[in-house]
Every structure is written in structure tokens, then in C-alpha cells.
Amino acid sequence: MKKNQAGFVDMMLVIIIAVLLLGMCYLFYKHRHVTKVAPTTAKSQSIPPAIGSTAAIDNLTSQEVNNETAVDQKHSGESATAQSANSAAANIGSAYNESSL
């Protein structure tokens, strides 16, 4: 019995040590493994034209045009604002209900 028990314990020890070793190998592999980072492809940044170039001057005037166009687009809200009095005017037509007289 004692001999069997000793053998069993030895076997368990071997298994435990083997599991521990496997675990350590896994952890080692995980840390060691270099995750290949996808090379960040630098976004191709458009290089602004050099100050003093005609291209730079063209950019400025284009920006001015675009900026003013954006402001003009805001004028579209004027239509809704202008018509905001329509309901108030229509309400005058509900000043009385002749059928209740």
C-alpha cells in the first residue's frame, strides 16, 4: 500500500510539474511573441504649398470662396424664420366659433 501510495504521489507530482512547466512555457511564449504591429502607414499628408508660391495664393482665395459659400448656405434658414409668423396669422381665423353663438 505504501509503495503504491508513494508511486501515486510521484505521478501526481510529475503531472503537476508538467502542467506548471507548460503554463510557464505558454506565458513565456506569449510575452516573447512580438505582436506584429501593422506598420502604421503614415497617411499621406498633403504638403501645403510653400508660402509665397502662386499655389499658396490660390489656396487662400479658394478658402475665402469656400468660407463665404458656407456662410451663404446658412441663409437657407431665413426661409423657415421668415415663415414663422404664418401660424400666428392663421390663428386670427379662430377668433370665434360662430356655431357656439
- Catalog residues that contact other proteins under the rule CB under 8 A: 51-54, 56-58, 60-61, 63-65, 67-69, 71-72, 74-79, 81-86, 88-96, 98-99, 101
Looking at the Cβ atoms of 43 and 75, the one nearer to other proteins is 75
Least spacing, CB of residue 84 vs other proteins, in Å: 5
Least spacing, CB of residue 38 vs other proteins, in Å: 36
Looking at the Cβ atoms of 34 and 71, the one nearer to other proteins is 71
Query: Helices then strands (H, E): number in the chain?
Result: 4, 0
Q: What is the Cα–Cα distance from 81 to 91, expressed in whole angstroms? A: 18
For 52-63, what is the HEC assignment? Answer: CCHHHHHHHHHH
Cβ atoms < 10 Å from Cβ of 37: 6
Least spacing, CB of residue 62 vs other proteins, in Å: 8
Least spacing, CB of residue 43 vs other proteins, in Å: 25
First to last CA, the chain: 114
